[in-house]
Amino acid sequence: MSDPTRPKGPKIIAIANQKGGVGKTTTSINLASSLAEEGCKVLLVDLDPQGNASTGLGVDLEDREYTTYDLLLGEVDLNDVVHTSDVSGLSIVPATVDLSSADIELMSNEKRSFLLHDALRQTAIDAYDFDYVLIDCPPSLNLLTVNAMIASHSVLIPLQSEFFALEGLSQLMLTIREVRQTANSALRIEGVVLTMYDARNNLSQQVEQDARDNLGDLVFETKIPRNVRVSEAPSFAQPVTEYDPSSKGAVAYRDLAKELLAKHTKIAA
Ligand code: ADP
Ligand code: MG
């Protein structure tokens, strides 16, 4: 998808919500694979010590010699941390539990909040010619998530269609505002995507209504349905778009990628 009018460097999107289990990793994997299907060159950075995105894309633990932690420290050749996946056009920087001590270990590092920003802007990355970098954030607003927000052009927020979904969103918005004021004034909100949506459930509809009333255009038209194929796919080390390409979940993630691309084309025009 090489576009001569595109500004140099990939578009970097943090996928964040400090709540666990809302669909960050699932969205990271399947939006990344859907963008790759559309012809984009995509890098997924696993920034969660749990390493679920790495496992979900089939990077075995024994193959994670170099990880996002080494990328942050800047002491590693990019070729050693960027793994190609089985999905054409999709690469991943895997994570392991070593990331969990980053908060403490990086405490004395003056540039600790800018490590991912700097790593993703080193000239060596240009050779990969990525169109998109997606960052799968951990379930907290810690130093890692702040690194992601400072490194990114925008934040994409998965919102689980359940009780208290909107609770906690104000905390996330506050953090985004703080990052804007201090370190990354250009940080935008890419959008909020409703995940695990069940159209037959009144609660899902209520959450959607609340989200659209409160957040307006920030909420993507595309909703990701609750779909068992989506939850099965990681144990086969595949995105759902490969595991079951015609499943409702795969179709929805493809729609989300198209909606995102359409927005970006509009902005660029
Ligand atoms: P997070 O990264 O925010 O902690 P995950 O993406 O790991 O959340 O999702 C939490 C759980 O919900 C996982 O077991 C995942 O398989 C499941 N899940 C996520 N999205 C869907 C969906 N659309 N349909 C069914 N299960 C889903
Ligand atoms: Mg996760």
pLDDT tens-digit readout, 194-222: 999 999 999 999 999 999 999 999 999 99
What is the Cα 99 distance to its own chain's centre? 17
Q: Give the 3-state secondary structure of residue 202.
A: helix
Number of domains composing the chain: 1
User: Does the Cβ of 138 fall within 6 Å of ligand 1?
Assistant: no
Cβ-proximal residues to 225 (8 Å cutoff; 6+ apart), any chain: 196, 197, 198, 199, 248, 249, 252
Is 236 part of a structural domain of the chain?
Answer: yes
Cβ-proximal residues to 212 (8 Å cutoff; 6+ apart), any chain: 219
By residue range, what is the domain housing residue 67? 11-268
Is 74 part of a structural domain of the chain?
Answer: yes
Is 3 part of a structural domain of the chain?
Answer: no
Q: Which of 76, 71, 75, 253 is nearest to 156 (CA)?
A: 253
Is 88 part of a structural domain of the chain?
Answer: yes
Q: Give the 3-state secondary structure of residue 263.
A: helix
pLDDT of residue 75: 86
Distances (CA, A) of 141 to 26, 171, 174, 188: 19, 9, 11, 17
User: Does the Cβ of 223 fall within 6 Å of ligand 1?
Assistant: no
pTM of the model: 0.96
Residue 122 has pLDDT above 90, yes or no: yes
Is 38 part of a structural domain of the chain?
Answer: yes
Q: Residues 67-82: what's their mean pLDDT?
A: 94
Cβ atoms of 12 and 131 within 8 Å: the answer is no
CA distance 31 to 24: 10
Q: Which of 263, 242, 262, 241 is nearest to 252 (CA)?
A: 241
User: Does the Cβ of 24 fall within 6 Å of ligand 1?
Assistant: yes
Q: What is the CATH number of the domain that holds 32?
A: 3.40.50.300
CA of 26 to the centre of ligand 2 (A): 7
CA distance 15 to 149: 9
CA distance 20 to 105: 23
Quick one: which H or E segment has residue 191?
A: strand 188-195
pLDDT of residue 7: 55
Residue whose token pair is 């970097």: 12
Is 127 part of a structural domain of the chain?
Answer: yes
Residue 231: pLDDT band with limits 50, 70, 90: very high
CA of 15 to the centre of ligand 2 (A): 9
- Dihedral sign, CA of 57, 61, 63, 64? positive
Residue 102: pLDDT band with limits 50, 70, 90: confident
CA distance 28 to 105: 26
Is 1 part of a structural domain of the chain?
Answer: no
Testing ligand 1's pocket by substitution, the residue of 19, 26, 197 carrying the most ligand atoms inside 8 A of its CB is 26
- Dihedral sign, CA of 6, 10, 15, 16? negative
CA distance 119 to 122: 6
Is 2 part of a structural domain of the chain?
Answer: no
**Count of other CB atoms within 10 angstroms of residue 177:** 11
Q: Which atom of ligand 1 is nearest to the CA of 197?
A: 23
